[in-house]
Structures are given as structure tokens and as C-alpha cells.
């Protein structure tokens, strides 16, 4: 898939995901720059007759609509951001300053009993368990979340390792502050919680077919699908990682559009056949319970996957990119809560296992260096799509608002 095609897909995904209001009921009006209140229900009913079936839509002559097609350069801000610039260095001191703010600490939700540490390492670096701050924090266990390579100001490359540290201490912020004052640490931060907006997930009753998918019409999806200038692919050959509460990969309108790990599907049960660190990850991974598949136990992830890749098969609705493959990454629990450490692992899995696009339909007011690191690495090979406009503010929500 070419870069511009990815960008078109990303813009389309981002806009459609926002407009469907699955995350909340507000979105940005791109022309007037004002936040407008969207009433999903009335919109759904108003456009009932616009579109009958997916197969009719895909055969439609769309030439007359060409002038109204989405314009990548006009929508550039939807896909461009600071993350991914190879020369950009993440300013950990700035993040530490920002997160010391009392209002920030009141606004974000953190996981009890753990925190994250990112540090530069080489052969002379002391093992983490021997560090004094590790002992001061009454840490009982550490787990590597990810490893990446960073460049110093003089261009010298260093290994950077991110750990999740388990502790019995209750006051995570004081541990974080203490750890941040140590010179062997680049940054310490809590394990943050991220959330879906559960109340706005449409019910199955409201979604009995494409006739109700008014956003497809609104976003000129039909002209994208039928138009060779846009690749005419509907996402063909594209893998979209959905980091969410899991995906019902057996769903009748999704089952043929689920990514399959070829090494694992033809491999040995109980063995990590492709040596990617995950045993039997045939259809993605479950970071909440590594012994389980990424089956959805909440509903949000399946809903998001459906917006992206419901099949063109006369069952149910049709996805924006109905020929793409969904890579399910379960990083959110059955209560719709996500931890930053799981999100970062999910991002890493996605880009290392061939995702072209990473969809992140969750948010928080937290600013996680761990997630920013993961996104920085992912940006080299993936288009990143995140929730935006959900809090009536004209910016991308986390994780892309860093």
C-alpha cells in the first residue's frame, strides 16, 4: 500500500470514527472550527433511504461526485503530528514538569501497585533490581515492556528499556517523584488508565444494516470505494490493528476480515512459532490475560472493528475499509479500562507484526512517555489513528496529543 493511500485511509477512518459518535456525542466541525453537538439517533433515521446495500454502492458511478471527494492536503492535520519525526527527541523533563501539576494529577487515573521506568542502558548499566530507587520503592517485580534505540545529541545510539515495576507502596506519585530524581532514570511515570466511552456505544438494535450507517454517506465513502484515484481498494492488503477491548473474531460480519498470523495458524499449539514473544497469537493477542485469545468481553472493540472492516457480504453493515484485515489487540478490560503499559505493548506488537494502521479509540488526559515512545517507533511503518474531539475540545485526544 502506498503512503498516500494509507493517508487517505487514515483520514477516512479518523473522520468516520469520530462522526459516528461511538466515543461520545460531539465532534469537530472542520469548516467552522467549532464544536457541534451531534445527535446520532436522528441522523441515523433521516438517512435511512440513502443507501440500500453494500454491493449496490460499490458499483455506483461516482464520477460526478469527484469535486466533493475528501482532500488529503486539506485534511493533513488528521494524520500529521510531531510523533514520528526521526530527529525529534522526546523531552522527558518537559513531561515530568507537566505531570507535576496538581490539577493534572487530580485529572488522570492511575493503576494501583505499579509504575513505569524508562532508562538508557549499556553493558555498564546496573541491573534494575540493584538500583537503590528500586529498593526504596519497595519494588517486588519488574517486567520489560519494550526496548528501543535512541540517539544522543552527538548521534551515538543507545538502548532504551522501559520497565513496568510492581510495588506494594500505595502513593505512586511520591514513588514516581523520587524515582525521577535519580540520575539512572530518564523518566518514571505511573501506569495510567485509559478509557472507552461506554455509554455511547450504539446497541445492536440500532445497527441492523448499512441503511443506518449515515456516516458512510456523509464522509463520501462511496466515492472513495469506487474511485481508482484513491486506489479503489477499500483497504485491500491493509492490516488495521485495533487496540481495544478485543474483537469478536467469529462475528458473522467480521470473521473473514480478521488478520491471521500464518506462522502460528500452521504451527504448533503451545509454541511461539514465529518467535515474536507471544505463544499461539493466531489472531492477535490478549494483554489482559496472555493465556486467552483477544476475544472481546466488552463490546467496544468489536464495534470499532466493525466500523473499519465489516464485510461486503449482505449481512449486517459494511465497513469503511471492507477489504482490510483487523489485527485484534486486547489491551482494554471488560470494564473498558486500559493501562498505559498494555497500550504500549499493543502498539509494539502491532508495528512489529505487520500492521499498516493502528487504531486507538480510547482516551485520557494523561501524557505517557511510555506510549509516546511506542508511537514514535510505530510511526515509521504505521499510520496512527486516535480518538479526537470527544471532550468538546478542538484537539486530538490522547494518545496523539502529545
Residue 281 as a binder of Ca ion (CB under 5 A): the answer is yes
Phi and psi at 201, nearest 5°, equal: -70, 120
Question: Is the previous residue joined to 399 through a cis bond, with omega within 30 degrees of 0?
Answer: yes
Cβ nearer to Ca ion, comparing 50 with 272: 272
- Binding of residue 348 to Ca ion (CB under 5 A): no
Torsion angle of alpha carbons 330, 274, 378, 249, nearest 10°?
A: -30
Q: Three cell numbers at 257?
A: 476480515
Is residue 265 part of the contact set for Ca ion (CB under 5 A)? no
Could you say which of 264, 297, 342, 397 contacts Ca ion (CB under 5 A)? 264
Q: Which of 128, 146, 221, 310 binds Ca ion (CB under 5 A)?
A: 310
| 3-class secondary-structure state, position 164 | strand
Does 329 sit near Ca ion (CB under 5 A)?
no
Rounded to whole angstroms, how far apart are CA atoms 81 and 379? 10
- Minimum CB–partner distance for residue 379 and Ca ion (Å): 24
Instruction: Catalogue the E-assigned strands of 122-274.
Output: 139-151, 157-167, 187-195, 239-244
Shortest distance, position 263 Cβ to Ca ion, whole Å: 7
Per rule CB under 5 A, is residue 260 in the interface with Ca ion? no
Binding of residue 272 to Ca ion (CB under 5 A) = yes
Nearer to Ca ion, 162 or 353 (CB): 353
Q: Among residue numbers 50 through 109, which ones bind Ca ion (CB under 5 A)?
A: none
State the nearest-atom distance from the C-beta of 393 to Ca ion, in Å.
Answer: 34
Nearer Cβ to Ca ion (189/311): 311
Q: Comparing C-alpha atoms, which of 202, 214, 239, 227 is closest to residue 324?
A: 239
Binds Ca ion (CB under 5 A): choice among 131, 273, 296, 356: 273
Residues 6+ apart with CB under 8 A from 302: 246, 247, 248, 251, 254, 296
CB of 181 to Ca ion, least distance (A): 39
CA-CA distance, 158 to 118, in Å (whole number)? Answer: 12
Helix 3-19 / helix 300-309 crossing angle, nearest 10 deg: 130
Which listed range, 15-23, 76-84, 174-182, 250-258, lies at the site for Ca ion (CB under 5 A)?
Answer: 250-258
* Closer Cβ to Ca ion, 294 or 316, answer by number: 316
Q: Enumerate binding residues for Ca ion (CB under 5 A).
A: 253, 264, 267, 271-274, 276, 278, 280-281, 310-311, 313, 315-316
Amino acid at each position: 500500500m502506498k503512503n498516500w493511500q494509507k493517508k487517505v485511509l487514515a483520514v477516512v477512518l479518523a473522520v468516520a470514527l469520530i462522526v459516528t459518535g461511538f466515543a461520545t456525542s460531539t465532534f469537530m466541525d472542520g469548516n467552522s472550527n467549532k464544536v457541534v453537538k451531534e445527535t446520532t439517533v436522528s441522523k441515523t433515521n433521516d438517512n435511512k433511504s440513502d443507501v440500500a446495500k453494500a454491493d449496490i454502492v460499490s458499483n455506483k458511478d461516482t464520477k460526478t461526485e469527484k469535486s466533493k471527494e475528501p482532500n488529503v492536503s486539506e485534511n493533513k492535520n488528521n494524520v500529521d503530528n510531531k510523533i514520528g519525526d526521526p530527529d525529534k527527541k522526546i523531552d522527558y523533563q518537559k513531561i515530568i514538569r507537566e505531570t507535576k501539576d496538581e490539577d493534572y494529577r487530580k485529572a488522570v487515573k492511575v493503576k494501583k501497585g505499579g509504575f513505569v521506568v524508562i532508562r538508557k542502558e549499556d553493558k555498564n548499566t546496573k541491573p534494575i533490581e540493584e538500583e537503590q530507587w528500586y529498593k526504596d520503592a519497595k519494588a517486588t517485580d519488574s517486567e520489560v515492556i519494550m526496548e528501543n534505540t535512541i540517539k544522543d545529541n552527538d548521534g551515538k545510539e543507545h538502548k532504551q528499556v522501559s520497565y513496568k515495576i510492581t510495588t506494594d507502596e500505595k502513593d505512586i506519585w511520591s514513588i514516581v517523584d523520587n524515582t525521577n530524581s535519580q540520575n539512572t532514570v530518564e523518566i518514571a511515570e505511573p501506569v495510567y488508565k485509559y478509557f472507552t466511552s461506554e455509554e455511547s456505544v450504539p446497541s445492536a438494535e440500532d445497527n441492523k444494516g448499512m441503511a443506518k450507517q449515515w456516516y458512510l454517506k456523509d464522509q463520501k465513502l462511496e466515492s472513495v470505494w469506487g474511485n481508482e484515484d484513491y486506489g479503489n481498494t477499500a483497504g485491500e492488503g491493509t492490516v488495521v490493528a485495533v487496540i481495544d477491548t478485543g474483537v469478536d473474531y467469529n462475528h458473522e460480519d467480521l470473521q473473514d476480515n480478521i488478520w491471521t498470523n500464518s506462522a502460528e495458524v500452521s504451527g504448533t499449539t503451545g509454541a511461539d512459532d514465529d518467535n515474536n514473544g507471544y505463544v499461539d497469537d493466531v489472531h492477535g493477542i490478549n494483554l489482559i490475560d496472555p493465556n486467552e485469545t483477544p476475544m472481546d468481553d466488552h463490546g467496544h472493540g468489536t464495534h470499532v472493528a466493525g466500523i473499519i472492516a465489516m464485510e461486503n457480504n449482505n449481512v449486517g453493515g459494511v465497513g469503511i475499509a471492507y477489504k482490510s484485515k483487523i489485527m485484534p489487540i486486547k489491551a482494554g478490560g471488560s470494564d473498558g479500562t486500559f493501562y498505559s503499559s498494555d497500550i504500549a505493548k499493543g502498539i509494539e506488537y502491532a508495528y512489529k507484526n505487520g500492521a499498516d494502521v493502528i487504531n486507538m479509540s480510547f482516551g485520557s488526559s494523561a501524557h505517557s512517555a511510555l506510549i509516546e515512545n511506542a508511537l514514535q517507533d510505530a510511526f515509521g511503518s504505521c499510520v496512527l489513528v486516535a480518538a479526537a474531539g470527544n471532550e468538546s475540545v478542538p484537539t486530538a485526544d490522547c494518545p496523539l496529543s502529545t
